[in-house]
Amino acid sequence: MIIVMKPGASQLAVNHVVERIESMGLKSHVIVGTERTVVAAIGDERGKVKEELETAAGVDRVLPILAPYKMASRELRERTIVRTRDFECGDSKIGVIAGPCSVESEEQILAIARGVKAAGATALRGGAWKPRTSPYSFQGLKQEGLKMLAAARDATGLAIVTEVMAPEHVPIVAEYADVLQIGARNMQNYLLLQAVGETRKAVLLKRGPAATMEEFLLAAEYILDRGNQQVMLCERGIRTFEEHTRFTLPLATVPYLHEKTHLPIVVDPSHGTGKATLVSSMSRAAVAAGADALIVEVHPCPENAWSDGYQTITLEAFETLLAECRRVAEAIGRTI
Amino acid sequence: MIIVMKPGASQLAVNHVVERIESMGLKSHVIVGTERTVVAAIGDERGKVKEELETAAGVDRVLPILAPYKMASRELRERTIVRTRDFECGDSKIGVIAGPCSVESEEQILAIARGVKAAGATALRGGAWKPRTSPYSFQGLKQEGLKMLAAARDATGLAIVTEVMAPEHVPIVAEYADVLQIGARNMQNYLLLQAVGETRKAVLLKRGPAATMEEFLLAAEYILDRGNQQVMLCERGIRTFEEHTRFTLPLATVPYLHEKTHLPIVVDPSHGTGKATLVSSMSRAAVAAGADALIVEVHPCPENAWSDGYQTITLEAFETLLAECRRVAEAIGRTI
Amino acid sequence: MIIVMKPGASQLAVNHVVERIESMGLKSHVIVGTERTVVAAIGDERGKVKEELETAAGVDRVLPILAPYKMASRELRERTIVRTRDFECGDSKIGVIAGPCSVESEEQILAIARGVKAAGATALRGGAWKPRTSPYSFQGLKQEGLKMLAAARDATGLAIVTEVMAPEHVPIVAEYADVLQIGARNMQNYLLLQAVGETRKAVLLKRGPAATMEEFLLAAEYILDRGNQQVMLCERGIRTFEEHTRFTLPLATVPYLHEKTHLPIVVDPSHGTGKATLVSSMSRAAVAAGADALIVEVHPCPENAWSDGYQTITLEAFETLLAECRRVAEAIGRTI
Amino acid sequence: MIIVMKPGASQLAVNHVVERIESMGLKSHVIVGTERTVVAAIGDERGKVKEELETAAGVDRVLPILAPYKMASRELRERTIVRTRDFECGDSKIGVIAGPCSVESEEQILAIARGVKAAGATALRGGAWKPRTSPYSFQGLKQEGLKMLAAARDATGLAIVTEVMAPEHVPIVAEYADVLQIGARNMQNYLLLQAVGETRKAVLLKRGPAATMEEFLLAAEYILDRGNQQVMLCERGIRTFEEHTRFTLPLATVPYLHEKTHLPIVVDPSHGTGKATLVSSMSRAAVAAGADALIVEVHPCPENAWSDGYQTITLEAFETLLAECRRVAEAIGRTI
């Protein structure tokens, strides 16, 4: 940690900073520059100390040196591979999660499960509890939806990925699902992160649309810290000034996170663009950028989907998409 | 709702849109322009219909005409006044909520409560459950903290404002608090919104740092829809490219929301800037912009605060701040 | 154009809107809804009329139906192919522009030109005039730099791409360059756009870091409107809250623009990420997303580059990058 | 400047960084931490050195300690007061610039000049050259417009503020105007900044909608560096995800810049909101935040304005606005 003093900060102020640093169990080192004095604090700086020093008299700002996360860091481990049923993610084979936004009926989810499985998907997505912006929108079939997902798994062998919205739902969702999804709106719902951290189910953690990489990795840290190592990070688009897409999909997240963490990186081109016509190109781009898995919204008839139809593609489009992605994957030495 | 067809959309596609509109119980009206055909759908368009039409063949885009919220709308009512103990918000008197980020001890919270009361505050803030970005940061004193807040209320008469983080905590927090705060990270935690909507406690709903006005008002709608009318909307800064402040505080939210909703608007200059030196100017600006209440972080010694010290001001600074804000309030015909 | 009236707007206000619409030579059509009245204006709405109507009494907002650009629109033409020397962009062959941020010496630019040509580039980039954030940074070799670029073209046959910063520099830059680059900071320097529009040189128009698609296409329209049809649009990253990269590179721009315009789309992964380690992955992703050309910063020794070293890759890295991109291009049926 | 090495960086890499630092004429200081080694570079770090070091082997990142601007810094001087005719800005009296977006006719500009002068304005704004997003929009009366502005000044004594769009226009605009405005789109048009820097006319420099504070102050530095000290910085709104206003007006810019620079700060609530109904509240808020001047778009009949009508207020509204702002100014010990 580097503490930058204000121009003309008094010796007293510098001494005070030194004392605080040492009272935290860190070593200090004062460097007198031509215009500014800076104090280096040596040792493990993680915790609340940065905030304390920022407020001390004569301090201009505090620059952290160490990343605030530990267990998510690539310094800990080279890579994590998440495997559940036929789904695999983090190694050379790219995982493919596909399915409708919402589970609508057993018939619907079975038909989609069979369709996406035939096209090459290894996991089935489908919402049973749906967080919706408006209280007047369809909120999901809840436990009935979970049962329909389980039936689809029984019929196809696909791993089931579904969202869990509250700590008290974790047991019931974990009973049916193979992968617990934390939605973007809940990325910083810490009680929920801790609850899924207590299970040993794989977790798909979606990036909040305004979350920095540090916040995203610290959210993962909450899960890892409870002992659950099966965490996948999912880029699903951020909120920017762009208005021609619903969100802006920043694919540089993929190689950046691969430098920083051992966790596998999933890309969601459906939410990441919010436009069905862009999903296919962005899926190919995600694979080329090094994504470890894709999660795509698919419905036999997007116009009739109960939610998210505008960003959902048909089964036919999904088959073409996967065929294209397979060729791109091979071009970079991976498989789908 | 206006459905804009693509250039050259077929008559069949237009007919299909018309049929869908009418099957939703709306009336349709086709307008053939020089370059595009548009179809107007007449009637109450709220619900899932927009999404369905966006996906239909030949449709370019769908432009909603009506706001998706009803109960939060100013068309429903001129204004809502929130009152609890001495705190009042939404009428000519401006509410003042002040206190530490976290409750640290009974001694600390009592001293601050007395100090802010003397300066003119009408409510005391203080976190008992603290949502923290890092799992390694202090997470709050929890129920013990609530008891300390209640003791401070008993000693001063100030209304208590404290955050509730999960639906299952609502009963216990409601037992001690006068105002239930929904934090920015939980603005779209719909189960939590519904849970506070079931109480009859006043709610302080903080804007998510990436939330649009429509999403913010729909979050309020979740609470209102459950029958709780005592909702205050709090602007606490948004996430933008700006890096010299922690968040960007967009004060135009205040007059904009006053045009759209009857709910009172609170401003949080502490989180909204993240810098203690900017809190005072932005408090004055918030009052001048028409804010109905302020919520300010105050601590006897910010350097020793267990959290948020960098944006916390001293009791002395708070006294000066309120004196200045009082003069600005009078200049625009209000009081503090 | 759809004019949405406020709730309860008077008949007088509606009549006034109708009169204004008709005085503009458009036809009007009034639709009385259950909650709002809307007026449709039929005809070519491009020009200043939207602004006038937005201000009229009783008007809530005005929704444009037609895109404000004409000549850049895909409705005009299927595609534009830009060709100059061996560089080609917009057809199945993907263009490759590479070179240093700044021209530093004849020796430097010749060595790089030979290196990137050998690796497969078809054009050479290099700045002679350098817009720099700080007045204390190196500002380019100016005309001397242009001469060095011309020498590199003579030696290699590569097309020369270089930035022009002011209308009065257009003649001299056009004398040496094959492609005139408009930098991101100048995307809305309309006098400059008009000046390059008067030439018949190809233009590489970079997106401003806060420009919407509509503004970007209208900037191109300024050039096209002066008769120059050889315009390439370059996505080089936008400014968002993300701080782990210098800019956020939104690759969905590529398929989106392909839907809207006939102009070829170039991607700049160097500025778009601002990090040398991310350039290679994002180049592959750009190709997979459908980019018509890449522009990459390359230097024999980035550490010694006079500018932009942190986002510049070595010649060896560039060779590997192109080999990988070639395989991805083939996977989607294109060539490099 | 602090150079943070990667974990496990070799001694060779550290030595290389030390050598580069010393070859730049700076002193170096190596600090070996528990997890990372950092190297402090002592001396004036301004210039291109940061970029070079960022690229060196084993370097993770470089943290600058000193601000990159010098002449704009508050460390140089306490405050700058800009005075021209009756307009004054930077001292206790708040400047008021008002007028139409575009000069439309001598009659129009004279009527507005008289109106705003009577209400209390000290300067007249009006565009003669208009940068417009669309090539099909009105582009200004150019030199004829300048003459009309001069006539309005002769009639009222108001100082004239008008935009200059290109270096070659600086002489002619400077002949008629008292204050040269640099528009937001040109904030980083460095040749234009240098050209106005060569004059001794006051300059109103508008913040680019995606500019950081550092970029904004460095743009001012370009002007100051050429010897022109009469620079005002104008906050006019930034581009964010917010869509209910045209731009987001971040008033914390005002107190922040007052901490960092001696230059006066102007606020533009018209462009900053893009909505006539919000201009008045945000003008009051700007004054309360400490703005040194306001610049407001005023037109006798906004509906008939040739540009920007949606954000333009009437003369009557402007009178009320100034009366309110005057009371707020008095409440904080200033005058209008």
Asked if the C-beta of B35 comes within 8 angstroms of chain C's C-beta atoms, the answer is yes
- Distance separating alpha carbons of residues C7 and D19, to the nearest angstrom: 71
Instruction: Express each pLDDT in B56-111 by its tens digit.
Output: 889 999 988 888 899 999 989 999 999 999 999 999 999 999 999 999 999 999 99
**CA distance linking residue B109 with residue B125, whole number of Å:** 10
Chain B residues within 8 A of A225 when measuring between CB atoms: 135
Q: Which of B243, B173, B238 is nearest to B204 (CA)?
A: B173
Q: Supply the pLDDT for residue D245.
A: 97
pLDDT reported for residue B45: 74
Q: Best interface-test mutation with A: which of C246, C284, C334 has the largest number of A CBs within 10 A?
A: C284
Question: What is the predicted pLDDT for the residue at B304?
Answer: 84
**Calpha distance A240→C286 (Å, rounded):** 20
Question: A58: left (phi > 0), else alpha (psi -120 to 50), else beta?
Answer: left
Q: Is B250 on the interface with A (CB under 8 A)?
A: no
Q: Do B221 and A134 touch (CB under 8 A)?
A: yes
Average pLDDT, chain B: 94
D7 vs A33, A34, A75: nearest CB: A75
Please tell me the predicted confidence (pLDDT) of residue D48: 60
Ranked by mean pLDDT, the top range of A32-41, B24-33, D149-158 is D149-158
Strands (E) across chain A are located at 2-5, 27-32, 37-42, 59-63, 82-84, 87-89, 95-99, 123-125, 159-163, 179-182, 202-206, 231-235, 265-267, 293-297
pLDDT tens digit sequence for A289-299: 999 999 999 99
A97-110 tens-digit pLDDT: 999 999 999 999 99
Taking only residues 156 to 185 of chain A, the set having a beta carbon closer than 8 angstroms to any beta carbon of chain B reads 165-168, 185
Q: Which amino acid is at C112?
A: I
pLDDT digits (tens, 9 = 90+) for A102-155: 999 999 999 999 999 999 999 999 999 988 888 888 889 999 999 999 999 999
Q: Cα(D64)–Cα(B243) distance, rounded to whole angstroms?
A: 15
Q: Which ranges of D253-312 would DSSP assign to H, the alpha helix?
A: 253-260, 269-273, 276-289
Q: What is the reported pLDDT for C24?
A: 87
Q: Which residues in chain B touch residue D273, judged by CB atoms under 8 angstroms apart?
A: 252
User: Do A48 and B137 lie within an 8 Å CB cutoff?
Assistant: yes
Looking at residue D172, what is its pLDDT?
A: 97
Mean pLDDT to the nearest integer, A223-231: 97
Q: Residue A137 and residue A241: Cα distance in Å, rounded?
A: 26
Query: Which chain A residues are within 8 Å of C281, Cβ to Cβ?
Result: 252, 254-255, 288-290
Which residues of chain D make contact with A243, given a CB cutoff of 8 A?
A: 243
Q: What angle do CA C181, C182, C186 make, to 5 degrees?
A: 160
A43 vs D4, D34, D43: nearest CB: D34
Lowest mean pLDDT among C9-13, C178-182, D51-55, D256-260: D51-55
Neighbours of D99 (CB within 10 A): 31
The beta strands (E) that lie in B15-152 are given as: 27-32, 37-42, 59-63, 82-84, 87-89, 95-99, 123-125
CA separation, residue D83 to residues D88, D93, D117, D202 (Å): 5, 11, 17, 8
Element (H, E) at B270: helix B269-273
Spell out which residues of chain C touch residue D244, defining contact as CB-CB under 8 Å. Answer: none
- pLDDT at C117 (0 to 100): 98
**What pLDDT, on the 0 to 100 scale, is given for residue A49?**
66
Query: Residue type at B125?
Result: R
Q: What residues are paired with D31 via a beta bridge?
A: D38
Name which of D55, D132, D215 is nearest C303 (Cβ-Cβ): D55
From the list A46, A136, A309, the residue facing B136 with the nearest CB is A46
Orientation of helix C276-289 relative to helix A253-260, angle to 10°: 140
Tokens 């915790």: give the residue: A47
B254–chain D nearest CA distance, Å: 9
Burial of B187 (0-12, 13-18, 19+ CB in 10 A): buried
Q: Which residues of B touch A166 (CB under 8 A)?
A: 166-167, 191
Burial of D207: CB neighbours in 10 Å, binned 0-12, 13-18, 19+:
buried
CA distances from C296 to C125, C209, C239 (A): 8, 18, 19
Query: D305: which chain C residues are within 8 Å (Cβ-Cβ)?
Result: 51-52, 55
Element (H, E) at D223: helix D213-224
Residue B273 pLDDT class (50, 70, 90 cuts): very high
pLDDT computed for residue D49 by the predictor: 66
Q: Which residues contact A166 (CB under 8 A, 6 or more apart)?
A: A192, B166, B167, B191
Residues of chain D contacting residue C218, judged by C-beta atoms under 8 Å apart: 133-135
Mean pLDDT, to the nearest integer, of B257-282? 97
Shortest Cα distance from C325 to chain B (angstroms)?
31
CB contact under 8 A, A134 and B208: no
Q: Cβ contacts (< 8 Å) between A236 and chain B: which residues?
A: none
Residue B248: what residue type? T
Partner D, chain C 89-118, Cβ-Cβ below 8 Å? none
The three-state secondary structure class of B163 is: strand
From the candidates C188, C277, C278, C306, which should be mutated to test the interface with D, based on the most D CB atoms within 10 A? C188
Which positions of chain D have pLDDT values less than 70? 47-49
Report whether pLDDT(A47) > 70.
no
Chain mean position to CA C22: 37
**Nearest CA to CA, how far is D324 from chain B (Å)?**
7
Instruction: Answer whether residue C162 shows pLDDT above 80.
Output: yes
- In Å, how far from its chain's centre is CA A67? 18
| Inter-chain CB proximity B63 and C66 less than 8 Å | no
Window D:55-84, CB contacts with A under 8 Å: 63, 65-66, 75
Nearest to B261 by CA among B70, B65, B46, B72: B72
Nearest chain A Cα distance for residue C191, angstroms: 26
Give the pLDDT of residue D54: 85
Radius of gyration of chain B from its Cα atoms, rounded to whole angstroms? 23
Closest by Cα among C90, C98, C155, C151 to C126: C98
